[in-house]
Amino acid sequence: MSRSRRLHRLASHERSDSSSSTSPEREDADDDNDSFMQQLNDSQSSLGLSISQEVTPDSSTLQAFEERCRVSPVCRLPAELLISIFAKLSSPADLKACMLVSKDWARNSVGLLWHRPQTNNWDALHNVVQSIRKVNAYFVYHDLVKRLNLSTLGSQVSDGTLLPLSGCKRIERLTLTNCNKLTDQSLAPLVDGNRSLLALDVTGLDSLTDRTLKLVANNCLRLQGLNVTNCRKITDESLEAIAKSCRHLKRLKFNGCSQITDRSILEFANNC
């Protein structure tokens, strides 16, 4: 009986020792657990290291990604949407401000600003001419002009005023009403080579001759509107040429053209 009690105490002592902190098995288990907890950081684990090495981008890719993250979402909009938004702006000052934001904004707003440049006073016209004639300009401004209207300046406009604009070969609507100092000298170079002209109003240009209108017939095949009111030097010769070439004409005005006859009128009736 006493022997069995001694064996029981011995077994209890051994169990107590095995549960102490100095147990090799417990120490190994703690080490394993601590090691696992330390390796929860993937960047320190062997698995994390191998993945990191595989997907780490080069410096240029990383720089490009960081740059995209810094850019405002509005700058990622496609050109079509930007142009649609800018088209809602009615103030030229607002469009100019947009051009100064970034190169992308400038590219997508410059066409709207130059589509119909302001030419209602001498300062504005001077700025337009200076920009068009500027060497090494960022944009080819003369190709952006679609509508040109100098009628506000009227009789103040001369051939010297119009000649610097002769490089604008994509004008669709040209209005020179009552610019009575203009002659073939400046108008002929402007229409020569222009395949885009849709409407021409030269009301009151009594010095204009058939020379310019023949160039219109040879170049402006898409012409839809022509107003030569009070252009007294115009004859049937040039108008017949226009009637044969410009088959899309819809609007014609000949008031005060004393040299035209039924010949040209019939030609328009037969061809347009």
pLDDT the model gives residue 29: 43
pLDDT surpassing 60 at residue 27: no
Mean pLDDT of the chain: 82
Mean pLDDT of 97-117: 90
CATH number of 115-271: 3.80.10.10
Least trusted range by pLDDT, from 18-22, 48-52, 147-151: 48-52
**Looking at the predicted structure, is the pLDDT value of residue 41 above 70?**
no
Average pLDDT of the segment spanning 18-31:
44
| DSSP for residue 181 | T
Q: Where are the domains of the chain?
A: 78-113, 115-271
Four-residue CA torsion sign, 222, 227, 231, 235: positive
What is the rounded (10 degree) CA torsion for 158, 189, 207, 179?
Answer: -40
Residue pLDDT, tens place only, 130-180: 999 988 888 999 999 999 999 999 999 999 999 999 999 999 999 999 999
Strands (E), the chain: 147-149, 173-175, 199-201, 225-227, 251-253
Low-confidence winner among 46-50, 78-82, 92-96, 174-178 (lowest mean pLDDT): 46-50
Predicted confidence (pLDDT) per residue in 230-264, tens digit: 999 999 999 999 999 999 999 999 999 999 999 99
Distance (Å, whole) CA 161 – CA 18: 108
pLDDT per position as a tens digit, 207-228: 999 999 999 999 999 999 999 9
Res. 267 pLDDT band, cuts 50 70 90: very high
What pLDDT is attached to residue 44? 39
* Rounded Cα–Cα distance for residues 254 and 203 (Å): 9
- Mean pLDDT throughout 173-200? 97
The pLDDT of residue 176 is: 97
Q: What is the pLDDT of residue 222?
A: 97
Q: Are 249 and 228 in contact (CB under 8 A)?
A: no
Question: Quick check: 210 and 234 in contact, CB under 8 A?
Answer: yes
